[in-house]
Structure 1
Amino acid sequence: MKPGLEDALKRIKSYSEELGLDLNKSEDRFKWLIASTLFAKRISSSIAKRTFEVFLERGLTSPEAILRAGWDELVNALDEGGYVRYDFSTATNILELVKALLEKYGGVDGIHEASRTPEELEARLMELRGVGPTAVNIFLRELRGVWSKARPKVSDKALAVAQRLGLSLEEAERYESKLVRIHLELCKKRRCIECPVHAFCNSSYS
């Protein structure tokens, strides 16, 4: 790795870190699952983040709290966060997801414990309503090193940035969450000058 690049990457926060979550804690892993479903939709990351913050403000942070709140309260929270395009369907999906998680696994960690392989873990997650491949990748890539079976395929977005930075596949995997964020918020919009790793990049946009 180029001198100084590792320090620059470490200073970039992943989405879960920016949301103030500690994924070593079970309760925060559940919160991250909910956040991942919000980030997975075709909607801006700023709206997804704001909507999740509304969930935190309203105490919608555990399976029990979400079930107590019910559909109307979830729709109100989604609307307040600006998630209006998908408010009805997302409220329904979250309620069904939480019910299945509790009934089948007793909570978020139970789904990992029930899975024998990384592939089975991904398949079980995708059985939850509203959780597709994008949400699974978002959720699991930040759980590398926390859950032993959290080993999703490195996303194309991360690999594209890794190539520009001259990173190996192993390094791309280690910093995947941060590389994806760089792609979505900076590379995609060609905001190169604002990028904290601009000096290390071989991009033609530079």
Structure 2
Amino acid sequence: MPRAPGRAGANRPPVGYTPVMAEKREVARALLDRQRQTYAEEAGIRLADRPGPLYQLLVLTTLLSTRIRAGVALAAARELFAAGYRTPPAMEAASWQDRVDALGRGHYRRYDERTATMLGTGARLCLDRWRGDLRRLHREANGDPSVLRRLLIEFPGIGPTGADIFLREVQTVWPDVRPYADRRTLAGAERLGLPANPRGLSGLVGEGDFGRLASALVRVALGQENAGEVSRMAAAR
């Protein structure tokens, strides 16, 4: 008896589906279940494509770019924001000592004086070059990550690693940057047996989750998340 049209293959998995890919997706989901916040969110930044949150991400990037523990940088960022230094004018108007004191309250002491100076200089650059609005930087680069990196590196204290941090986090609100995965993201992916390339990783989660996945993989690379526990959690599902 002939089969009804469309019945053959009706229960087949989607094109490109493999058991291995399914396993990798479970690992990515397990990681996201364990790490629900990006670094920006943990610093108290409600990231959006608006001048204030984008500048706050720049501040966090400056703090994370030094050789200091991420937890200390996050605490220092929260102290700066709690003190009201959430915009370039507010950061520049604060005295150097006020910035040093806020950093100190976050235990950001080893680099506090130099970083306080860089934050003031960076705020002035943001005002002079971009009129306090990093969306202008985004538009000038036309969403090209290589151009964005070059423009970001002009800010004091932000080198190639800092530019990677900013782009990794900002891709949640600048979709044309996605999928962006820096070397630390890819190192974390390798530890979990996930694809060590941006396109491969992007196939494991929805577009809206890729920025969070990238941030979570950095935590794996830095030892802030246990790769073995993530894998066991995925296998137990």
Q: What's the TM-score bracket when you normalise by the shorter of the two chains?
A: 0.7 to 0.9
Task: Tell me the CA shift for residue 72 of structure 1.
Answer: 1.4
The answer to whether residue 194 in structure 2 is matched with residue 172 in structure 1 is no
CA contact (8 A) 1:118 1:151 kept: no
Q: How many residues align?
A: 197
Q: Alpha carbons of 1:71 and 1:88: their partners in 2 closer, same or farther (altered >3 Å)? A: same
- Which runs of no fewer than 5 residues in structure 1 stay unpaired? 202-206
**CA–CA separation in structure 1 for the residues paired with 2:62 and 2:182:** 17
Aligned to 1:19: 43
Partner of 1:108: 134
What residue identity is the alignment partner of 2:167?
L
Give the whole-Å Cα distance in 2 for the aligned partners of 1:120 and 1:142.
17
Alignment of 1:127-166 (within 5 A): 127-148=154-175, 150=177, 154-166=181-193
Counterpart amino acid of residue 198 in structure 1: S
TM (norm. structure 1) is 0.84
Q: Deviations over 1:40-78 (max 9, x none)?
A: 111011111111111122111111111111211111111
Cα shift at 1:166:
3.0
State yes or no: 1:184 paired with 2:222.
yes
Q: Aligned partners of 2:136, 2:115: CA distance in 1, in Å?
A: 23
> Does the C-alpha gap of structure 1 residues 152 and 33 become closer, same or farther in structure 2, counting only changes over 3 Å?
farther
Alpha-carbon contact 1:121-1:149 (below 8 Å) kept: no
Equivalent-residue separation in structure 2 for 1:178 and 1:14 (angstroms): 7
Higher relative contact order (CA 8 A, sep 6+): 2
Alpha-carbon distance, 1:182 to partner? 1.8
- Structure 2 unaligned spans of 5+: 1-20, 203-209
2:231 aligns with 198
Hey, what's the Cα distance between the residues in 2 that align with 1:68 and 1:102? 12
Identity within the alignment, % = 32
RMSD: 2.4
Q: 1:14: how far off? A: 1.6
Shift of 1:36: 1.1
